[in-house]
Amino acid sequence: MPRQALGKGLDALLKQTQDVLNNPPAARPEGTPHSSVQKIALDKIIPNRFQPRRVFDEAKLQELAQSIAEHGLTQPIVVVYDAGLDKYEIVVGERRFRASQLAGLTEIDALVHKALTDKQMCALALIENIQREDLNPIETALGYRNLMNKFGISQTDLAGYCGKSKGAVSNSLRLLDLPEHMQAALQDGTITEGHGRALLMLPDLAKKEVLFQRMKKSKMSVRQAEDAARALLQPAAAPKAPKPPEVASFENDLQAALGTKVEVRYGKKMSKGLLIIQYNSLEELDNLAGRLKTKLL
């Protein structure tokens, strides 16, 4: 499916939005279609229904609020007017909106689009966050899935549109296959996206849980998590069959006579094998050699 599946209208809208945001209101030509910048009361603004971000870092919001209080808002937010609610819905810029509230402002500069479809709002909100790399891994994956479902596009097309590799988009979406509590750990930063991919290496849910608990307790690196996943993928070694009583008895008798560990190893047939006599120092080896020579001569 060609990239035009996203619609020429959306391409034009995204370009127009970026052009307007990059120019102060006074520098824009008069009669700019479909949009205008104005001051809007904060109590007339509502969040974007399609906001991909689920977690807002309070400390960073406070920092942004302080900056806005001292220097003002450097870039307007983008909103669309909802006549039914008589409210302005945020398209992009919810962090700036929230920080402005914390800063004690009563109004905010906003670029007002007169008409945006749900698809356009969803695309603008997601792409703005992805370009800023400001989402946690699960928020990004949910945003990808939402955009794909609404536009009916493939992972390849979405990857090209968002400036990501197809593998990056695919790996991101696969994180949504993890159990909810593991997704929650990705959202709050307990584990990273790399740890999530290590968990996905394990098809068995029980093994996933074993590795997940080890990640949390030992704070292992991504490389250690991948190595641990590969180890869990290895089949369990079959238990060794007990040695026949006569072999065990021979080992015990020889160990008692020599005063060191003795092991008899053999294959399917006992007619051939190895007799292993263990020593722990050169002095012990000399002693064993002398005792064996005495017995043999």
**Start-to-end C-alpha separation, the chain:** 88
Q: Which of 264, 249, 261 is nearest to 288 (CA)?
A: 261
Pairing label, strands 107-113, 35-41: antiparallel
Rg, Å, the chain Cα set: 33
Residues 91-105: pLDDT tens digits?
Answer: 878 888 888 988 888
Both tokens assigned to 163: 């400036």
Instruction: Indicate whether 20 pLDDT > 70.
Output: no
pLDDT band with cut points at 50, 70 and 90 for residue 70: confident
Please confirm, yes or no, whether 94 is among the known catalytic residues.
Answer: yes
Rounded to the nearest 10 degrees, what angle do helices 118-132 and 137-151 cross at? 150
- pLDDT tier at 279 (50, 70, 90 boundaries)? confident
Catalytic residue (choose from 30, 89, 94, 107) = 94
Query: Hey, what amino acid is at 131?
Result: Q
Q: How far apart are CA 64 and CA 105, in angstroms?
A: 13
d(C-alpha 158, C-alpha 145), whole Å? 10
3-state SS, one letter per residue, for 131-160:
HHCCCCHHHHHHHHHHHHHHHCCCHHHHHH
Q: Which of 54-68, 80-94, 151-165 has the highest mean pLDDT?
A: 80-94
Q: What is the pLDDT of residues 34-62, one digit of tens each?
A: 456 789 999 999 888 776 666 666 777 78
Q: Which two tokens stand for residue 68?
A: 């806005």
Look at residue 183 in the predicted model and tell me its pLDDT: 94
129: which 2 tokens? Answer: 């966050």
3-state secondary structure of 77: strand
Please state, in angstroms and as integers, the Cα–Cα distance from residue 162 to each residue in 89, 132, 169, following that order: 23, 11, 9
Long-range contacts of the stretch 288-291 (C-beta < 8 A, 24+): 288/258, 288/260, 291/258
Q: Please tell me which residue, 91 or 203, carries the higher pLDDT value.
A: 203
Average pLDDT, the chain: 79
Taking a C-beta distance cutoff of 8 angstroms, is the pair 137, 172 a contact?
yes
Query: Which stretch of DSSP H or E encloses residue 248?
Result: helix 245-258
* Cβ neighbours of residue 210 closer than 8 Å, sequence gap 6 or more: 232
Percent of the chain with pLDDT over 90: 21
| Residue 189 pLDDT exceeds 50 | yes
CB crowding 29-68: b at 16 or more within 10 Å, else e:
eeeeeebebeebebeebeebebbbbeeeeeeebeebbeeb
Helix (H) or strand (E) holding 82: strand 77-82
Is residue 276 exposed (0-12), middle (13-18) or buried (19+ Cβ within 10 Å)?
Answer: exposed
Pairwise CA distance, residues 194 & 186, whole Å = 10
